[in-house]
Amino acid sequence: MMELELPTETSITALAAHLTAPAHSQTTAPHAAPLLVPYRGALTVQHLDAPEVETGALLASAAVHDLGWLRRVEVRGEDRFRWLSGMVTNTVEALADQSGNYNLVLSAQGRIQGDVAVWRRGNTLQLEIEAGQAEALLAHFDHFIIMDDVELVPVSGESSLGLSGPGAEQVLARLGLPVLTEMLTVADGQVDSIAVRVERGYGTLVPHYALWTSVELIPALWKALLQQGAQPVGAAALETIRIVEGIAAYGVDIQSRDLAQETSQVRALNFTKGCYLGQEIVERIRSRGQVHRHLRSLEIFPDTPGDLPAIGTEIRQTGGTAESKAAGTLTSVAALHLDGSERIFAIGMVRAEAEVGDAPLSYVGGSAQILFSNPKLTTA
């Protein structure tokens, strides 16, 4: 059964608490205190520099940022491997030591209840869950612990910083921390007296690392990363890069009504593992036919420069009028300011017939192009 003592959905992250503390404000330049915003179920800082500076660091050098909305939960008990394998869409029992993978969590009807990362270190299994999903997902899991020797135990007293960008590994090396060559692998390191768990996450354009340590040592680790040249960035820049990289977010791009294959998250699915909740629907789609819509990355071309379409904007196959055929809906939109120019990227749910050929899609106010590969970005 579950021992649930997770922070509330609106809790402030350890880093945000440090950056907005009066003692910290008195020792920094006389700027206004960072603005706190809700992100992934926690309060964090929105900006720490100009948007172009922050996105430039993420794409061209090294950026340090908050990841304090992540929660780790250890799965204990004799049945932990078998039980967890039956609850998530990716492999668990065959997961390599010191590695992780991305998973969807489904209902019996195949609808997506959330997403998690699963990490294995020896015989230890842990889930990594965003704060905004933690309560609902753990309640969902607990419902299916029946006669199983399984216990879900939140890891307390720890928080995480992120280190992202093509220069991230040079910063790690200068600090004496392990550099991980493969995504979704994990190792331990130390910065002076600070013990650090180093995880390399998923990214399509640049490396992303999560650095875990005790809550009270987050300020010291933050300072060490800044001293080695990492540029501080806030949640707004992170969200922009997420959209540019085409990484779907649950509750934003992925909804509880969606089926696994509709989300294009192939990296979350393993078709050779044993049975799991919702597998019958996933397998039926794979063996009998395809779904009629997919999440896709898009580039947006507004008729008026700088005019971003709103979330929920309908895209159409020909023209932007009500008479043209509906092609899908935008779920995330962001403007990328880089080297003095602006490009607009989006994620959207697109109907399969609209993906045929290379014709641009339209909306009232501009056009959109599906991206089937990473966008080419020019950085100074």
pLDDT digits (tens, 9 = 90+) for 344-354: 999 999 999 99
pLDDT digits (tens, 9 = 90+) for 104-128: 999 999 999 999 999 999 999 999 9
Is residue 33 pLDDT above 90, yes or no?
A: no
**Opening angle at CA 134, ends 6 and 210, nearest 5:** 85
pLDDT band at 78 (very low <50, low <70, confident <90, very high): very high
251-256: long-range pairs with CB below 8 Å, 24+? 251/132, 251/133, 252/331, 252/332, 253/295, 253/331, 253/332, 253/347, 253/349, 254/112, 254/115, 254/295, 255/112, 256/111, 256/112, 256/113
pLDDT band at 10 (very low <50, low <70, confident <90, very high): low
Query: What are the structural domains of the chain?
Result: 1-291 (3.30.1360.120), 292-380 (2.40.30.110)
Tokens at 252, concatenated: 């934003």
Is residue 9 pLDDT above 50, yes or no?
A: no
Mean pLDDT of 322-329: 82
Q: Pick the residue with more confidence: 24 or 40?
A: 40
User: Residue 356: what pLDDT?
Assistant: 83
Cβ atoms of 204 and 243 within 8 Å: the answer is no
Mean pLDDT of 7-21: 84
User: Residue 127: what pLDDT?
Assistant: 98
User: Residue 25: what pLDDT?
Assistant: 52
Is residue 29 pLDDT above 70, yes or no?
A: no
Mean pLDDT of 361-367: 95
Is residue 133 pLDDT above 90, yes or no?
A: yes
Neighbours of 340 (CB within 10 A): 7
Is residue 300 pLDDT above 90, yes or no?
A: yes
pLDDT digits (tens, 9 = 90+) for 155-190: 999 999 999 999 999 999 999 999 999 999 999 999
pLDDT digits (tens, 9 = 90+) for 265-284: 999 999 999 999 999 999 99
User: Residue 360: what pLDDT?
Assistant: 79
The dihedral through the CA atoms of 112, 295, 248, 168 has a sign that is positive
pLDDT band at 357 (very low <50, low <70, confident <90, very high): confident
Is residue 245 pLDDT above 60, yes or no?
A: yes
User: Residue 209: what pLDDT?
Assistant: 99
Q: What is the CA radius of gyration of the chain?
A: 21
Cβ atoms of 240 and 46 within 8 Å: the answer is no
Is residue 134 pLDDT above 60, yes or no?
A: yes
Could you tell me what percent of the chain has a pLDDT over 90?
A: 86
Is residue 358 pLDDT above 60, yes or no?
A: yes
User: Residue 380: what pLDDT?
Assistant: 54
Could you tell me what percent of the chain has a pLDDT over 70?
A: 93
- For the chain, give the mean pLDDT: 93
Is residue 8 pLDDT above 70, yes or no?
A: no
User: Residue 359: what pLDDT?
Assistant: 75
Is residue 27 pLDDT above 50, yes or no?
A: no
